[in-house]
Structure 1
Amino acid sequence: MELEECQPENLASLSNDIANNYISSIKLSNFRNYKSFKANFSHHPIAFIGKNGVGKTNILESISLMQPGRGIRSVKLEEMSYKNRGNFGVYINLERNRNSIQIGSSLDIASSKLRKVKVDGKYISPLGLTEYLGIISLTPLMDKIFIEGATNRRKFFDKISWVFISAHANNVRSYEKAIKERNNLLKANSSDKIWFDNIEKHIVKYGTQIIINRFKVLKLLNEQISNNIINFPKANMNLVGEIENIFNQNPDINTFSEMYLKSLNEKRKIDFYRGFTSIGPHKTDLDVIYREKEMTANLCSTGEQKSLLISIILSVAKSYKKHTNLSPILLLDEVFSHLDNDKKQSLSREIESLDSQAFMTGIDKSDFMTFNKDSCIINLDSN
């Protein structure tokens, strides 16, 4: 069935349904190729189509700034400003359980390199955005995640984790700061034992919580994947590393924290030689196995890797909705264009069954013919 093709300003009239959690409007100012842009949305799936370079992904990137971090492209904030003007604004209206929340994310490089976030007119840390909405993304930049280094897989899983546990983003930030301080001491060949002891206590405090949260989310996702009946391959996921081995051998949290602190102390000598901290959740890797084939994801075909990623993202969305009672917001950049018709049909049905808002991109509306009439296309070529 063909989707109804719509102009941005007319989308709100499509449906009076109220979803748990969805963006009802967006306004961009000096963002990427948009000097100005605004649109209204229903809670049904929305596809942006148009030629390459028209700004489809830019809209998804602006929405991704409603979470901690630097958006789906992970670039410097000033690169997002229109014609390098050094400032931009992204403003959304979030409908949450029939309440309307106004959220803004902006940058003015002349006054600060940090972006400012406001919720209903009050400044908050970007880390606090996860308390208001959960955004789950799948972009072409993630296509090589299974064959790249552990860092990208770890960041991928941490972004998933803070969707479930809002404090996780702050724990990661505090942990990374403490690790940087310890590394600076190592590089300076410092002999200040008291300062080392103090920093390592902070590392253990935040590192322990990061590990606990990651394993909580891992358990939720693996359970959801096992229960899924979908036309995408099932994945077995595990968190691996030296600190995870210690954690699995010491289920008592106090005992684990003591062992963690002891390991940091014992590794000072070798860490001095290396110039960095060699143990901790910053060294964790995400191990993914194609369950039916019992094959590690890095050995799978490109198509299988893409399908595994989709399977994981769908499990994140379902599990998030189940355990938070809130609808996630999906950002799917150029996902449908690389799928065969059978997989397009399957993914469309999965998104519709979630009853959650999904923003998608593609070059042609033919990529989205598998959605029902409640979904909508915005042709940016004609905007």
Structure 2
Amino acid sequence: MDSPARVFVTALRLTDFRNHAAFALAPGRRSVALVGDNGVGKTNCLEAISFLSPGRGLRRAAMAQVARIGGPGGWSVSADVEGLYGAVRLGTGNLPDEPSRLARVDGEPVRSAEAFTDHLRVLWLTPAMDGLFTGPAADRRRFLDRMVLALDPGHGRRVAGLEQALTNRNRLLEDHRSDPAWLDAVEAQIAEAGVAVAAARREAVGCLERLVAAGPAADLFPTARVSLEGDLEAALDTGSASDVEDWYRADLAAGRSRDRAAGRTLVGAHRADFVVHHAVKDMPAALSSTGEQKALLIGLVLAQARLVAELARQTPVLLLDEVVAHLDPGRRGSLFAILSDLGGQVFMTGTDRAPFEPVSEATEIVAVTA
């Protein structure tokens, strides 16, 4: 099999984005380490790159929150990208007082940022994700969905459609006068979307499990054992998608009184959990030490990167925010070696340039000031 296409953000330009009135970077095909004091906007640069993918970026921010305080109200991000289909310019931004963002490819409007995935796949790791294993299941589902989205650009639309259908069902259940036919219709939508979402997640977790097992040595980054737990997911282990869809639709109809009393739909893909264990210790990740949890998380993101390269046939761009700050020199060196082997471009941040000196030949170290 041919090697995956190597993808690079060769130039980046921000306008009125967060604290940056204007910011430009031209790394070419090199990786980048953004260094500087806390608060100067290093993470903002990573967030800007994350908007070159579907969704709301690595902070899941509302569009108005991204615009520079004191600026005109809108913002824009533009990037030159070299990848699977050659050189292209991607652009996105938000006009003042508009709830959604615009997307352009080579200056031409496209329907959504989903079109960017033909040219660029983006994965990230931020300090806000450090509580992934101890936080709510919704955070782990979101982490998993970002991975699936990097493999299947249509996954985001399926998840959004499922969430909207669930909201509609809850409203209908609250209104005792609702026509049962309306509930039948919306439950059919939920069953179809829910099984599709569950199946996509289940397939991705199976692939991830294979690549995690073949990843770095456990003494560098602990091997994770991953699984997906939920009613639909368990049903798909033994039944076809159409059979599970029929069962789920019937369960929704039979459970209307139950769900009306609870104020929410109690069964479905929206209740699944992405479960991670420390494989060597046979211990839930939530019970591992803080350092082990960080290493497990890094290992998962690295496995995601390998999975995207394998299935999408292009290397993802990795955004690693403050990732080296909590690694000892040995593990830091191992991380740099693994990143080099992946062959893709990496954008990293840190407060000090010293940790990045060992990779300075392949990495442009950029000082960011307020």
Which shifted more, 301-310 or 369-378?
Answer: 369-378
Q: Displacement, 1:190?
A: 4.0
2:229 pairs with 1:240: yes
Percent identity between matched residues is 31
Q: Mind listing any 5+ residue stretches in structure 1 that lack a counterpart?
A: 1-17
Corresponding position of 2:251: 263
Q: Deviations over 1:75-102 (max 9, x none)?
A: 2221111115421000111111361111
Q: Displacement, 1:353?
A: 0.6
Q: Deviations over 1:103-127 (max 9, x none)?
A: 11111133x2111111121222133
For 1:372 and 1:51, locate their aligned partners in 2 and report how far apart those are by CA, in whole Å: 19
* SS class of match (2:358): coil
Alignment of 1:151-230 (within 5 A): 151-230=138-217
Contact 2:7/2:315, CA 8 A, preserved across alignment: yes
RMSD over aligned Cα atoms? 1.6
Q: Which runs of 4+ in 1 moved over 4 A?
A: none
Contact 2:202/2:233, CA 8 A, preserved across alignment: no
Contact 1:246/1:260, CA 8 A, preserved across alignment: no
TM-score (norm 2): 0.94
* SS class of match (1:58): helix
Q: 1:84 to 1:289 in 2, by over 3 A?
A: farther
TM-score (norm 1): 0.91
Alignment of 1:366-381 (within 5 A): 366-371=354-359, 373-381=361-369
Corresponding position of 2:86: 99
Give the counterpart letter for 2:10 in structure 1: S
For 1:269 and 1:204, locate their aligned partners in 2 and report how far apart those are by CA, in whole Å: 18
Q: Deviations over 1:190-229 (max 9, x none)?
A: 4411101111111111111111111111111100011123
Corresponding position of 1:299: 287
Q: Mind listing any 5+ residue stretches in structure 2 that lack a counterpart?
A: none
Corresponding position of 2:117: 130
For 2:166 and 2:186, locate their aligned partners in 1 and report how far apart those are by CA, in whole Å: 8
Contact 1:45/1:352, CA 8 A, preserved across alignment: no
Q: Displacement, 1:370?
A: 3.1
Give the counterpart letter for 2:304 in structure 1: V
**Alignment size in residue pairs:** 363
For 1:160 and 1:71, locate their aligned partners in 2 and report how far apart those are by CA, in whole Å: 13
Q: Deviations over 1:282-301 (max 9, x none)?
A: 11111100000000000001
2:347 pairs with 1:359: yes
* SS class of match (1:114): coil
For 2:209 and 2:309, locate their aligned partners in 1 and report how far apart those are by CA, in whole Å: 15
Contact 1:43/1:356, CA 8 A, preserved across alignment: no
Alignment of 1:248-287 (within 5 A): 248-250=237-239, 252-287=240-275
Give the counterpart letter for 2:204 in structure 1: V
Q: Deviations over 1:216-275 (max 9, x none)?
A: 11111100011123321110111112222222232x122111111111111111011112
Give the counterpart letter for 1:24 in structure 2: T
For 1:210 and 1:158, locate their aligned partners in 2 and report how far apart those are by CA, in whole Å: 9
* SS class of match (1:261): helix
Corresponding position of 1:3: none
2:129 pairs with 1:142: yes
Which shifted more, 326-335 or 65-74?
Answer: 65-74
